[in-house]
Structures are given as structure tokens and as C-alpha cells.
Chain A
Amino acid sequence: MPSDHAPPHPPVLAFEAVRVVTDDGVELLHGVDAVVRRGRVTVLAGPSGAGKSTLLRLGNRLEVPSAGTVRFHDRDAAELDPRDLRRRVGMVFQRPVVFAGTVRDNLLVADATASEEQMVAALVRVGLDREFLDRTADDLSGGEAQRLCVARALLTRPEVLLMDEPTSALDPVNRRGVEDLARDLAGDGIGVLWVSHDLDQVRRLADDVVVMVDGRNATAEEAARFLAGDADVDGARGEEDP
């Protein structure tokens, strides 16, 4: 039972001084700290090439840190079964990745035992409906496909959702729709870690912001300049990369 003094948004996923060095000796992350809290949208912001996606991939162990620790509920993620961790820390990629077959086939990849009602509930949760179940996944629009990817991730009942610039390939209407969806999911208690270098999106979406520059946490001054749109720090734009 949580105590009366338990924080309302406890940390679920934490990155502690994580470094990533590639096999050829290139250091991509130089000791980054970040925390994802239950029921909050944490936006990982920074210019392109700052290492945001690399940090995100550490969250469900598609990458492993060369040094430092990723903690899931205070446990070192390295001690957990990666398959269990990945089902509790879902991931949505920059470009929607749909598998061959129907929407139903795609949802069954996430949970082969999912009932019809569970699949419909997941679709409805992301703004799609039962009619989509038998649609060919390849025929979905970009926005629909990205929603399907979120629905698929939700079927594993994650506590954290990692979203790697999930709206970069979407038009403005769908972009706002997926942002609203992320806010709703946070409202349901899921911790969301969202990567973006779009300052307008950061302002619309973030409960918490972690700014990265050159593979490290930005200093307070750099973060302030980045969030103020100082192009010398960030190259920030109102729109995302095409």
C-alpha cells in the first residue's frame, strides 16, 4: 500500500549517468540522467543528433548502456528479463511499423491470446474502431498506422510508453491527435517519454522536459536558451523534420 506521503507521480523509469559507446569507440551518450514519472508526459527535447533516440532505446533495452544504470521501479533493468521489461515499457517508433496482414493480425502480434473485445478496446482507446480490425494494415493512413502502433503497444499493458518522434511523419491534424492521445494515456497513469525537437510541441505536451545537447544533459543555461528558440543552441524549428 502506498503511504500517505507517497509522491503522486513516482518515478517508473530512470536513467542514471548512462553512457553509450559504439563498437567503433564513438561515444553517443556521455552520462545522461532522466526520469519518467507515472502519469506524466516527459518530453526529451534537443536538437537533431543530441542522442535522444539512443537514450529512448535504452529504456526498453534495444540498446544497453556502456556505463550507468537504467532503473525500472528502482530495479536495475539489466537484472530483469528483457522480454518482461519490454512488455512493461512499450515503444512507438518514429515511422509507424506495421506488419503484413490485417489490423487484427498486427494486434495479435502483441498478444496472441487477446480477445476480440480486448482488441476493440485497444483500438477505441486510440481513436479507431471495430471496423478497422479487418482492414489491411498497409492500407492505413500514416496517422491511423501510428495509432495502430500505439494500440498494439497498449495490448501489452505497459506502465511506460516510449515514443520516438511519433508524429514526425504526420500532418498537423493527426499530429495533434496523437499528442492528445499521449496526454490521455498519461491521465490513465502511464508514464510517457516523448522525443521531440519541435519547440511548439514541447510547450503543448510536456509535464516535464529533459533537454539534451551533444549526447549529454543540457546545462540550465543551454536548456533555457533551447526552450527560448535560440538557434545557436538548438537549430530548433516550429516544424519537425520531414
Chain B
Amino acid sequence: MNETAIGWGGLAASLVLIAVAVALSGWQRLHLSRSIVWACTRAAAQLFVVGFALKLVLDPDAPVAWAYVWVVVMVAVAGITIRNRAREVPGIWALGTLAMATVVVVSLAVILGLGMFPAEGRTIVPLAGMMVGNSMTASVLVGRRIVGELGDKRDEVEARLALGHSWPDASRPYVRSALRTALVPQIESTKAVGLVFLPGAMTGLVLAGADAADAVTIQLAIMYLILGSVATSITVIGLGLTRRLFTDDHRLRRVVRSTG
């Protein structure tokens, strides 16, 4: 065993804190003990399955095409997840999948095209995962915000349309507000990195024994790529969804509002 592996004993030790969480839940009568245990069990099952599959994909002798197949599956699952989290947004499954695919294509083109990392399974899979994971949350947020803004401000949008504005002009102030809302958390997170928290990739590299300076440069590059990916994904969702919410003759469709 190398020094970065914790082994079964280490994993079992981490359950001590789960026991604390369960005890606290019982003490405070939160009725969350079963949920905590179920979440931990489910996470373990998922990660063991994923880990087994990853072992095959990340094998240095495995063809790199396996990594790309993994990324395609990741994009499809992300599209479904976005749909599940934003069911009130019309057409979000197709748009979310398109946005995730765009993010992967653009970010991998930059990463591999500019030679930042070699085109291997061990780089393609985790990097694409980080881009998709962060973009997914922003995509859900921007989709819900656009539907909410155009629904809440329907009077204003129609007043603009009634003055002869095209749908892009009539919707611009409200879509812009939604895009800002979705992008600002990532900008704030980028600003706070290092001061408030050490991000995952850097933590992993440091734990794996990498030089701190190397960990910093890799983490910085990843942060920049994530910021770009989030901006790309919300732009795809913003443009596509707004177009979908208007008819060809510049009328605002009846927007379904969330009741949740």
C-alpha cells in the first residue's frame, strides 16, 4: 500500500464522524438517522461501482476511446440531472445536454489542443468531470432564473413587445439578470480560493504528495477552465431557453411557474 491510500481501516475510521452525526440526529430528534445511513451506503455503492469502471478506463493500457465514451455517458447523465432539478423549465433536458456537450468540447479542446495535459484517460475523465459538475449547477440555476424572471416580469416583457421590440430585445434585461445571478457565485468562488478553502484538485494533489507549487498551477488552470465552462454553459442555456420561450412572431409563451 502506498502512503496516499487509507485502506479499509482508514475508511472505517471515517465512519466515526458518521456515528457522531447519527448520534446528534437522535439526540436532537431530527429524524435524519436513517437518511444519513442511507446516503452513506448509497455513496459507497455508487463510488465502488464507479471506481471499478474507472480502474478499467484509467488503465494506462486501455484505449483512450474508453475515456471519451465515459465522458459521453457523463454528459448524458448530467443532462438528465439538470432536467430532474429544473422540471419546470421547458426543453431543459435537450438544452442541458447540449450545454454540457459544448462545455466538454470547448474545455477539452483547450486542455488538449494547447497541450496543458496529455490526452490520456487519467486526465480526460477527471477534468471533464470537473467542468461538467460545476457547469451543471449553474445551468440549473440559470434555467430556473430565466423562467422565473420572464414569468414574474411578464407584464414588462409584453409592454416591450407591444412597443415593437423583437424578442431578444424585449427579454434582454431579464435574461441578463439571470445570467449574472448564475455566474456570480463562480466568480466569488474563484475570488475566495485559497483564502477560504482549498479546492478539491489541489487538496487531492497535496494529499497525493505533489509539490505545492505544482498543485497551485494545476489548480489555477482548472479554476480558470471551470469559470470559462460555467460561462459557456449558462450562455448556451440562456440563448437556447430564451429563444424557446418566445414564438417566431415575437410573443412570449405561457411560462410554467414552479410551485415548489
A84 at the interface (CB under 8 A from B): yes
The answer, yes or no, to whether A125 is at the interface (CB within 8 Å) is no
Q: Are A110 and B163 in contact (CB under 8 A)?
A: yes
Interface residue? A147 (CB, 8 A): no
A86 to B158, CA, bound (A): 11
> Once the chains are docked, how many angstroms separate the CA of A38 from the CA of B165?
25
CB pair A86–B162 under 8 Å, yes or no, is: yes
Q: What is the bound-complex CA distance between A82 and B158, given in angstroms?
A: 13
Establish whether residues A95 and B162, one from each chain, have CB atoms under 8 Å apart when the complex forms: no
A156 touches B155 (CB 8 A): no
User: Contacts A83-B166, A83-B250 given: A62-B156 contact, CB under 8 Å?
Assistant: no
Assembly CA distance A242 to B251 (angstroms): 28
Q: Does A87 contact B (CB under 8 A)?
A: yes
Report the bound CA distance from A87 to B165 in whole Å: 9
Minimum C-beta distance from A90 to chain B (A):
7
User: How many A residues touch B, CB cutoff 8 Å?
Assistant: 24
Residue on A nearest B165 in the bound complex, by CB: A83
Q: Residue of A at shortest CB range from B157?
A: A97
A105 to B254, CA, bound (A): 28
Interface residues of B in 180-227 (CB under 8 A from A): none
Check A63–B251 contact: CB distance below 8 A.
yes
Q: Any chain A CB within 8 A of the CB of B249?
A: yes
CB distance from B74 to the nearest CB of A (A): 36
Taking CB atoms and an 8 Å cut-off, the chain B residues in 159-185 that contact chain A are 159-166, 173
Q: In whole angstroms, how far apart are the Cα atoms of A149 and B156 in the complex?
A: 12
A153 within 8 A of B: yes
Measured CB to CB, the closest approach of chain A to B91, in angstroms, equals: 16
A62 near B161 (CB under 8 angstroms)? yes
CB distance from A117 to the nearest CB of B (A): 20
CB distance from B153 to the nearest CB of A (A): 9
Q: Tell me if A93 counts as interface (CB < 8 A to partner B).
A: yes
**Which residues of B from 229 to 260 have beta carbons under 8 Å from A?**
249-251, 254
Given contacts A62-B251, A82-B250, is CB(A87)–CB(B159) below 8 Å? Answer: no
Q: Is the CB of B163 within 8 A of A97?
A: no
Please determine whether B164 and A83 come into contact, CB atoms closer than 8 angstroms.
yes
In the bound complex, do residue B159 and residue A93 qualify as a contact, i.e. CB atoms below 8 Å apart?
yes
When the two chains form the complex, which single residue of A63, A99, A153, A156 contacts B156, counting CB atoms closer than 8 Å?
Answer: A99
* Interface pair B155/A86, CB less than 8 Å apart: no
> Contact string, A76-95, partner B, CB cutoff 8 A, digits 1/0?
00000011101100110101
Provide the residues of chain A in CB contact with B251, threshold 8 Å: 61-64, 82
Q: Is the CB of A93 within 8 A of B155?
A: yes
Name A111's closest neighbour in chain B (CB-CB).
B163
Q: Which residues of the partner chain A approach B162 to less than 8 Å between Cβ atoms? A: 60, 62, 86, 90-91, 93, 153
Q: Given the complex, which residues of A lie within 8 Å of B158, measured CB to CB?
A: 62, 93, 97
Query: Looking across the interface, which residue of chain B has its beta carbon closest to that of A60?
Result: B162
Most buried by A among B156, B162, B166, B173: B162
**In the bound complex, how far is the Cα of B164 from the Cα of A99, in angstroms?**
15
A82 to B165, CA, bound (A): 9
Q: How far is the CB of A180 from the nearest CB of chain B, in Å? A: 23
Contacts A109-B163, A110-B163, A156-B163 hold; do A82 and B155 have CB atoms under 8 A apart?
A: no
The answer on a CB contact under 8 Å between A87 and B155 is no
Find A64's partner among B156, B173, B249 (CB 8 Å cutoff): B249
Whether A109 lies near B155 (C-beta < 8 A) is no
User: A108 to chain B: closest CB distance in Å?
Assistant: 11
Which A residues lie at the B interface, using CB under 8 A?
23, 60-64, 82-84, 86-87, 90-91, 93, 95, 97, 99-100, 109-110, 149, 152-153, 156
8 smallest A-B Cβ distances: which pairs? A87-B164, A97-B159, A91-B162, A86-B164, A83-B164, A82-B249, A97-B155, A110-B163
